[in-house]
Each structure stands twice: as C-alpha cells, then as structure tokens.
Structure 1
C-alpha cells in the first residue's frame, strides 16, 4: 500500500487518513506480537494493540510530514518507557519491526527518513530509560544521605530500606571503602560483570578504570576520592570476566561519615550495551554505502576534512576520482539489478587492490568511486594506484549469464596538505576526471595546474563574451580576394577580432571555439554578418560596379540554426545590399553530409542569389557525388596545398598535382576556385597558370580595417 501521495493523486485527505488508520492497526498487531513478553505491563494484549495503534499513527504521520522532523518518533520512544515497556528486547524488536514494516508499507519513503525515525525512537527510548534509572539512582543516594542524618533508630530503618534497594535494584550497585576496596556488590552487578561477591571483594575500584577511558573520567574519579566532588556520571565501558564488553551509564557517589570525612564510595551502573550497539549500527549505516559496504560520501568528506583541519609538516594527500566507463549502457540495457551486482563486484575489486595500503575506498554515488591516500608518499604512489585500478578492472566480470567488460576513467590529484583545502582538492580531482574521459576513457589523467589555469581562463573568457558584444568590443577586419588574371580586388573576406579590455587583441582562434561550445556563435555570427553587409553597402554606394562582394564565414553550429535564412533575408533587406554581393563560407566538414534541412537552407540562400563557398577544401573527407548536388558557387583551396608552390621554377610536384586536380574538379562542377595562403609571386603565377581564378594571402594584403580596403579600391579605380 502506498502511504504517500504523489502529484496528480485523486485520493482526498479522508482516504489518506483512512489508509493511515488501517496500516497503523496492522502494524500495531505485528508490533504487539513482536514485543509480547519482553516487558511487564499491566495491559491485556488487546489493550496493548490499542495503545500501539496511537504510536504507529504518530510514526506514519512523522514519515509523511513536510518538512520532515523525526521528533515525533523520539516522543514515541519516551512514551514506551513511560508505559513500562523497558526491556532492551522490546527496543531491539521494535526497531527491527519498524524498519521492515515501514519499508514494505511505505516504499516511497526515503531510506534516510526511516533510519532517522529508527534512530530518534531509540534515542527517546534511551533518554527516558536513563531518566528512569537516574530517578532510581537519586532515590538510592537520598536514602544513603538520609541514613547519615537520622538518629540511630531512624538509621536502622534507613539502612533496611537501603539494603532492600541495594538487593532488589535492577541496576548494578557496588560499595567500596574510601580507598576503593570493594566491600559489597548486589546480584545485578554480579550478573552484569560475571564475578561472584567473593571475587568482587578482591578488587579495587581503581582496577575498573582503563587506559582507554576518557581522561575526564579519570580526573572526575580523582576529584571524588580527594573529597573535591560528591559524585560524577559517565558512560563507561567495562569488561566481563569472560572478556566480553559491557557499556554502562555509571554514577559514582561519595558517602561521608558523621564527621563529614569521606567514608564510602557507592557505584551504580545501568547496562546500556544494547543501546550502544544500536547506536554503533546506526552510525555505521550513516557512514557506509548500503549496496557495496564501502565508505560513503559522508565518511570520505569527514576523513578528508580531518586531514586539512590538522595539517602536519611535510604531509601530503592524494585522490583518485574513479568513474566507470559505459556503466549507464549496462544499467539501462540489462536492468538495475545487474548494474547493482556490477557495482558490488567493482567495489570488491577496488577494496582488494588497496587492501595492503592505508587508503580509504569510498563510493560517492552512482558509478563514482574515490581512493583517498591520507598520507601520500608522492605522485608516483597515486599513479601506481591508478594503474592498479585499471588492472583490476581489466578482466571481465561475470554477472548471472552475462560476461561484462568495464573500464574506468580516473582523475588523480596529489599535493601537500598545506596547498589549498579539501574543497580545492575535490574540485581539481573532478576536473581531472573530466580530462581523462575526454581523452578517450579507460585511462588516468594527472592534475596539471597550468592546463587548469588555461581552461579556467577559457571559461572566464567565454563568460564575458555576451557582455563584450553589448560593449562593442568586437570589430571586423577584411582581407582581399584578388583575381589572378588582372590583380583586381573582387571580394573581401570578413575576419572578426576581439579587442579585450584585459587581454588585448584576440584573434578568432582564441574565441571562436568557445563561442561554438557555448552557443554564442549564432549571436556573434549574426552580428558579424550584419556589420559586414552594412560595410559592403557603403563600398557599393562609393565604388559601384567596382565594389567587391563580401565573404562571411559560417560556423557549423550557425549553419544549423533554423533562423539562418530569415536572418540573412532580414539583414539584406535592412542594409539594402544585393544578395549577389554576399558570399557565405562553410567548411568542408560542415557542408558534406549535412542534414536535409540544412541542405534546404543552403538551397534557399542559393536561390536568393547569395553566393555559397566551401572553405578549406581538400582537408576534409569529401563525397564527390554529394558535392555535385550541393548549391555551391566556389571552392576555396586550403593554404596547405599551396605551400609547395612557393619557390619559382621548383614547385612540389605532389602539391602541384593536387591543386591542379582540385581546380579541374571545381571547373567540371561549374565552380570558381580561390586559393588561400598565397604568400609569394611564384605561388600566384603558378596558380594562375593552373587555372585558379582568385588568390588570397599576405602576398596581396594582410587583413585590415575598411579604410585599407578603401585605399586599395581607390587605387584600383585610378589604375
């Protein structure tokens, strides 16, 4: 039965409360049966069930409450003790029953809530039981003090009451003289520690103090024996005669004689071993992964914090952040149960790989693990750990009928403890893990401060790009495309620049890739296109038919933007530039094999009269059959093929044949050819002889502002 409502549930509050009542009564019956006979209460079994219905209802209400607060469970624990359910067996069976039944009846409740409710109930139960014991202890203490104050007749009566309490009390009581020699021990204490009265009388109280006890306990006892304090309380561990351990709430009181001098020591002990063990189990569950049994994120962070909270000279620390490669595919295809078994198997291999070291292995969540070397001997140790992890995961893991291969990517950070803090260490390990994954997986990567600084700088640069556009920090330079036949400037290519206020002038290779990654390339490309078309219209107005057309690069992401065609139409309309005076350049890799909708966009631009060019042709993987169907006007040959034509009379025969083949191919498809990277007259002459229509490069002009193009066009007009 689902006890919690989800968004969209049609059940009303009345139905929900009815569900609570039914489940609460069913739990109460199970609960009453489980604790039957563990504690003495003056209620019939039906009365016990009715009483537990109310407690169960409060527990379910606490689990469902938002915000969640386990206080109600704490109060349930108190009420159990107040109703005389005081046995440790009652508490143990209650905690176990609640864990099983709540998980079954309320599957949607987070495990953390169930653990919190169990812990709170145990805490309230222990608190109430201790208060009950303290009241008993105080009554005994008052009886002892009364005995000293009364006259001889009253003293005899008081001693009789003390003897009755001493003998029949459920808590252990021991009496010693002022020097600590044991004089008496009641039956409860004899059973608690496993010694007879005769054996107790051979002990001194000092012998029950151990080196492992807190110093505060030793100091309190010294003060009591000196007469500086009347009593002290402590939670203390004792060892039975058979070697087993017993945890107690201990109260030691000083009994003074008629003259006010110390005469006796009275020790009272409540056995709280069950509660202590329960707390240990809950503490273990809070710090360990329930699936693999490894340390969890909380324990890992606690251990790491201790390293940096108590730095020592020359101490070093190291981390291996581990992420399984391809785990999601296995989990999704074979099911979560197979994924869980795989995680358990991986955890065992990781634990075995560092079994002989002092490294902590933790599961951070999902398929992420970490190795913590709290006292690293150096980077070599962490690299060796990384290699060990790769080695232990190399062999396939058999889960059911599946032979599963799994690898890991590992980010390694190792440094002195004084360098930064735990947060910096975790962040750098996470960054390094990303490097390992991006470099091909199934490998480790070592943190590199210089690389990290570069990537942080790149990130900051990308973060400032939107504001830079608004502040007009970008501008456009232009490089001429020259007709090889007569040297005329027939076109100019627009090249965007960034005048950064801190880093100075940035070339496109410093920020275009960032703009692609962040998606800002679309906005930046639109700005460049509009800015260039506006400048082209000015040249058209001034130079008429002699004005060059402008060529603008389109990034791959920009070419896939669905608003590309409408943007171009809008910009041409707003600037008044003719479509034939605009050329859009796409790289070979962007245009080859492009999706149908992208081809449609290029076709629309082509039909509008906009020129389409393929940039850096020859450097990609061309499908020539596909090329002939593309709406393209021009091929631009990459400068790397022109390099071999630099020296007059001695061209590289391979480069010459490649360029010749590319030009022949272009002409066969009805396309013009522009060669990039022309730096010498020999290159220009040879390219012209091969049949290349235009050239672009430093031989003709370097990229420059519009004014430089104006001067070239004016000179050309006069000539």
Structure 2
C-alpha cells in the first residue's frame, strides 16, 4: 500500500525531547537479530502490540515489522523487510516532514510525528499518525509506529462542522464565512486563474424583528430557515454553468451574506441581488401563518488584489446602511464617492468637540437691510470652521453633526458670546451710529441640554449688550408646537427683552394660528419663496403664485405684530417686489455675502447714503 496526499499536508510535529522507554509501544514480532532490535523483552511487546510498528535502519529500510504493520499495508510482515519505509507512509510528500525524518535517522532529532492520509489495498483511505523515534539501546535503528486515527478525524470533522455552521439554517456561520472570504482574497487563489475579482451581497431582512418579537423565536427561526433555503436556491441558480455557486452564510441575527468568487463584474452581482430581493419578498407560509418580509442588500464588487476581508465587509456594511436609509426593500451598489463623503463626515464628527476647545471656529456676519431705507439694521452671525485638513467649512457641513453628538452646546455658547461681544464692540466704536442688532442661531438641543436663559443673561451682562440688540433664531419645526421647557425658555427670553425669530418660515406644516401664542418677534421667510421672485429677463414678471403666498404670509405676520425678513435676496427686482408687498428687511447677496467683522464696521458708515442705496458687496 502506498501513501497519498490530499490537499496541503499538515506540517510535521517535531518533538525534540528525549525518547524514553514509555515512547516505545512494542518490540519486534519477527525474529530479527538481537543486535538490531535490542533486548529480548522488546520482541514480545513488539509482536503482541495492536499498534502497527516497524524497525527501520539508518538507511531508511524496513528491518522488521509486526502483524499490525503488515495488516495495515496488506502484506505479510516478512515481505515488508527491505522496503523503503518513507514510501510506505508518504513522508516525502512534505518537505519539512521529510527533512525532519532524515534528521531522526541521523540521530540529530529525537522524534518525528506527523499525520498522513494512507490508501489501503482495498481502496479505502485511512488517516494515520506516523511517529518515528530512536530505539533505546540500539544505535543503528529507529522505531516507526503508525496509528489509525480515522475515527478521531471523523469526530473532529463533525465537531468542526458544528462549530462552522449555523444550527438554525444549517448554513456556514460567520466563522466559516470569514475563513472562505480570507481564502478568496489570498493571492494564490486568484493568481492561478479566474477573473481575480470578488463580489459580496450583504443582506438584512426588513420586518423580521417585528415577527420575531410578536410570534416568538420558534416562528422566527423557522422563517430564517425558509429564507436560507430560498437564498441557497438563488445561489445555486446563479452558479449554474460556473465553476462554483456563491457561498451563502448566515452572519448572525437576520443578516446573511453571499460570497461570489471570480465574479465577472457588477452586472452579475446586480442580477444576483435582484433575484434575492424577489425570492425574499414572496410570502412565506410558516406555522399556519402567511408572513411577509423584504430585504435590504448592500452589494460590493472589486478586484481581489489589494482588498482585505475587513475592508470588503466595511464597504458592504456601509452599502447595506445606504440601502436601508434609501427606503429598504432594495439593493444598493457601493459608491466610492458616497463613501468618501461618509468618511469625511466621520472624520469631522471625531474632531468636532476638540475643535471647539482648540479655537478652530470663527464668525462671519451677513447684513440685514431695511427694505424701505436700504440701510443696515442688523447682522446674522454665521459660524465657520477653519478645519486644518478640509479648509473652511460652512455650517451645513457640521451643525447637524454637532447636534447629534451634543457639541452644539459648547459651540453654541461660544457663538453667542462671540457675537454679543462683537456687537457691543461695533456699538462702542461707532457711538454716533444707531447700534446694530445681532442675530444668533440656536439649536433645539441647546434649549434641552443647557440653561439657555441663564447663559443669555450672563452673556448680556458680561458683554454689556442690551437685550433688544440680541435676536435668537430657531427653525420653524423647533418653535411651532413647542411646549414645556422649550416654550418656557422662549417666554423667559422674550420677557428679558431678547427678540425671537423663526428661521426658514414656510417650510413646515405647522398651524399658523399657533403663532399668536408664541413669544415670537420676527418671521424669516425661507429663500425658496424669494427665489420665485427672480426675473428671467428684464421684461419678465415674478411667479404670481409665489407672490400671493409671500404677500399672504407678510400680511398675517403684520396682523400678529411680527416683522418679516426675506432671505436669499439676490436682485434689485426681488427687493423691489418684496418692498412693494410690505416685507420689512432683506438678507442676501444683493446686499452682501457673509463677511468678517471689520467689513461690517465699514458698511455701517454707508447707512447715511440714503434710502435708495443698498449696502453693496465687499
């Protein structure tokens, strides 16, 4: 019988410890010369031992073998004498093991132990553990023993299968999936042939949690098993005519993954994702109930070279999140540009709070101009982030992040104090000019997570700015319907003399009658209404519908005792129409872009030029 090697041969297990009598399991059964086999006590042990054993000389030839050794190789023991022992047990198939074996024969190593798959004369293969060690008191021979460990290997295989497969769906589990994914991305696997590309569909069930929570885990498990069957069927159909079908795995919970080795491009992955969506969306009959779920799928396809399992899974996880955010029940392909935006967002979020402490923020101010007199009445403070990596960032890039992580509170506190201090400085530097009011944006989280009333009072006292010269802007969605603490805060600020403005008014769906019960002084019309006043050419007229809506809102505001500011005023024609229908103040590039505080000081002197003069751009 000759040895065969199947797949990568396990490396030899070298034991460099000295071999004692306990390492020798038997002595020769046949009657070899005493000088070659040692004392007679070993002969009886050698003959009776159930373990297959043979004495091998220093040249690697079998000197004698016991019955177990002969039975293993299907030959009488005496016929094995003179055979090359290494050939019988396939030691030459592994370079490391072969080298170790030669070292044992030469007396330089104490022991060799390795595992081989051996083919018996009847065609059956057995797993064997081969041990080669010196014989005590015999200098010119070693003992080779071969133990059949097939049953042990079979048990190991069963245990590994249980460890590597999900008990509910019987699919490969997360551990096995990552093992296969790592192998697919290994250079040797794709350099030998194929497309050199890899694809991944990362799937999450929509609506599974509700079923699992209401109908119980038994129903949920049966549903997962049914989903697994459909996914496997889709994978088999996708693999028809190809070298292999996609690997389907359950990664945990209601998350599944399909790994496509040697993918042919995004079209193949898109077809697979479409089939998965259709398969999952079809109703399931589980435990006498008709259940429906859908799936969101993140799809990634790329070259295997240069891709790591972690990077591929991160891309798939991000794309799955996009699929859910875009409305669920769909698949989404990984978009590098969209991911770059997400990475930038994460980078900003991680550095936002320290940036407040490092003083990376600055304020610019945009003029608020009277529509009747064309003069500067106030300014809106607009924060800028001078980011060391991304340059100057406007509020739309980071205010949402600041609200999410709570850093809007210290940032808002800094903006309030800086703006009030600057407004007071303008007033002191221009004693002959009417003072400007400064408008500061306030987020809802500042109302809930801080004592805004106390902060405003302390700031006004610290800077010396009169309350009437401070205007706080809150969005319509934040103000309308306010109750409890927000409403109490607004009322306290109003009683203090601070003006409250509703920013982006007209974009929400609030009850306008609620305005009469709020301590609001100003409505700022959203720029989308003002843009409708834009002239296409010199003879064109504004959009009549926009004009009717804006005029109605201005009239309503005036009847409630409120003033109105129009945002995004960009042309003289817009300003003229807004003035004609009664708008009080305007803000936009017609008058000025946001500018540094020193430019506002220069513009203050332009107020005396007359009612027909706008402030002008810097």
| Both structures adopt the same fold (TM-score exceeding 0.5) | yes
8 Å CA contact 1:547, 1:713 repeated in 2: no
Taking structure 2 as the reference length, the TM-score comes to 0.79
Give the Å deviation of 1:679.
2.4
Matched residue SS, 1:136: coil
1:249 maps to 2:129: yes
8 Å CA contact 2:60, 2:86 repeated in 1: no
**Where does residue 362 of structure 1 map in the other structure?**
249
1:317 maps to 2:198: yes
What RMSD, in angstroms, separates the aligned Cα atoms of the two structures? 4.2
**Where does residue 159 of structure 2 map in the other structure?**
282
Match for 1:708 among 581, 587, 599? 599
**Where does residue 233 of structure 2 map in the other structure?**
352
Provide closer, same or farther for how the CA distance between residues 365 and 591 of structure 1 changes in structure 2, counting only shifts above 3 A: same
8 Å CA contact 1:183, 1:201 repeated in 2: no
Equivalent residues in 2 for 1:196-275, closer than 5 Å: 215-216=93-94, 234-238=114-118, 244-250=124-130, 269-275=146-152
Q: Work out the number of aligned pairs and report it.
A: 570
Give the Å deviation of 1:421.
2.7
1:500 maps to 2:387: yes
- Which of the pair has the greater relative contact order for Cα pairs under 8 Å at 6+ separation? 2
**Where does residue 560 of structure 2 map in the other structure?**
669
Q: Distance in 1 between matches of 2:288 and 2:126?
A: 48
Matched residue SS, 1:711: helix
Give the Å deviation of 1:215.
0.7
1:509 maps to 2:396: yes
Q: Distance in 2 between matches of 1:161 and 1:474?
A: 88
Give the Å deviation of 1:134.
4.8
Q: Distance in 1 between matches of 2:288 and 2:344?
A: 49
Q: What do the CA deviations read for 1:278-336 (whole angstroms, capped 9, x no partner)?
A: 22223323333333332223222222323334344451122222222233333333333
Q: Distance in 1 between matches of 2:213 and 2:315?
A: 30
Larger % of helix: which?
A: 1
Give the Å deviation of 1:690.
1.1
Provide closer, same or farther for how the CA distance between residues 326 and 713 of structure 1 changes in structure 2, counting only shifts above 3 A: same
Taking structure 1 as the reference length, the TM-score comes to 0.69
**Where does residue 457 of structure 1 map in the other structure?**
344
Q: Which moved more, 1:537-546 or 1:627-636?
A: 537-546
Matched residue SS, 1:702: coil
8 Å CA contact 2:28, 2:37 repeated in 1: no
Q: What do the CA deviations read for 1:538-573 (whole angstroms, capped 9, x no partner)?
A: 234444781122111223433443422222222122
Give the Å deviation of 1:254.
12
Give the Å deviation of 1:462.
3.1
**Where does residue 695 of structure 1 map in the other structure?**
586
Q: Distance in 1 between matches of 2:20 and 2:258?
A: 44
Q: Distance in 2 between matches of 1:689 and 1:214?
A: 99
Equivalent residues in 2 for 1:19-34, closer than 5 Å: none
Provide closer, same or farther for how the CA distance between residues 711 and 351 of structure 1 changes in structure 2, counting only shifts above 3 A: same
Match for 2:443 among 528, 552, 555? 555
**Where does residue 182 of structure 2 map in the other structure?**
305
Q: Distance in 1 between matches of 2:378 and 2:301?
A: 55
Provide closer, same or farther for how the CA distance between residues 673 and 228 of structure 1 changes in structure 2, counting only shifts above 3 A: closer
Provide closer, same or farther for how the CA distance between residues 310 and 715 of structure 1 changes in structure 2, counting only shifts above 3 A: closer
1:533 maps to 2:420: yes
Q: Distance in 2 between matches of 1:365 and 1:472?
A: 45
8 Å CA contact 2:211, 2:220 repeated in 1: yes
Give the Å deviation of 1:206.
8.8
Q: Distance in 2 between matches of 1:144 and 1:525?
A: 96
Provide closer, same or farther for how the CA distance between residues 133 and 446 of structure 1 changes in structure 2, counting only shifts above 3 A: farther
Matched residue SS, 2:421: helix
Give the Å deviation of 1:143.
7.9
8 Å CA contact 1:217, 1:234 repeated in 2: no
Provide closer, same or farther for how the CA distance between residues 142 and 472 of structure 1 changes in structure 2, counting only shifts above 3 A: farther
8 Å CA contact 1:317, 1:417 repeated in 2: yes
Provide closer, same or farther for how the CA distance between residues 210 and 607 of structure 1 changes in structure 2, counting only shifts above 3 A: farther
Give the Å deviation of 1:214.
7.0
8 Å CA contact 1:479, 1:493 repeated in 2: yes
**Where does residue 51 of structure 1 map in the other structure?**
none
Q: Distance in 2 between matches of 1:530 and 1:403?
A: 61
**Where does residue 335 of structure 1 map in the other structure?**
216
Give the Å deviation of 1:359.
2.2
Q: Which moved more, 1:628-637 or 1:537-546?
A: 537-546
8 Å CA contact 2:24, 2:143 repeated in 1: no
8 Å CA contact 2:565, 2:583 repeated in 1: yes
Structure 1's unaligned 5+ residue stretches are 1-129
Matched residue SS, 2:50: coil
Provide closer, same or farther for how the CA distance between residues 216 and 568 of structure 1 changes in structure 2, counting only shifts above 3 A: same
Give the Å deviation of 1:172.
4.3
8 Å CA contact 1:322, 1:410 repeated in 2: yes
**Where does residue 5 of structure 2 map in the other structure?**
none
Equivalent residues in 2 for 1:65-104, closer than 5 Å: none
8 Å CA contact 2:533, 2:543 repeated in 1: yes
8 Å CA contact 1:475, 1:496 repeated in 2: yes
**Where does residue 414 of structure 1 map in the other structure?**
301
Q: Distance in 2 between matches of 1:464 and 1:431?
A: 21
Matched residue SS, 1:294: coil
Q: Distance in 2 between matches of 1:672 and 1:292?
A: 65
Q: Distance in 2 between matches of 1:688 and 1:173?
A: 108
**Where does residue 431 of structure 1 map in the other structure?**
318
Q: What do the CA deviations read for 1:451-488 (whole angstroms, capped 9, x no partner)?
A: 22222223223333334333433222222222222233
Provide closer, same or farther for how the CA distance between residues 441 and 645 of structure 1 changes in structure 2, counting only shifts above 3 A: closer
Q: Distance in 2 between matches of 1:687 and 1:134?
A: 102
Q: Distance in 2 between matches of 1:493 and 1:438?
A: 34
**Where does residue 598 of structure 1 map in the other structure?**
486
**Where does residue 657 of structure 1 map in the other structure?**
548
Match for 1:135 among 14, 17, 24? 24
**Where does residue 15 of structure 2 map in the other structure?**
none
Matched residue SS, 2:532: helix
**Where does residue 393 of structure 1 map in the other structure?**
280
8 Å CA contact 2:28, 2:64 repeated in 1: no
Q: Distance in 2 between matches of 1:710 and 1:325?
A: 57
**Where does residue 374 of structure 2 map in the other structure?**
487
Provide closer, same or farther for how the CA distance between residues 588 and 558 of structure 1 changes in structure 2, counting only shifts above 3 A: same
8 Å CA contact 2:54, 2:69 repeated in 1: no
Give the Å deviation of 1:708.
2.8
Give the Å deviation of 1:166.
6.0
Q: Which moved more, 1:329-338 or 1:406-415?
A: 329-338
1:581 maps to 2:461: no
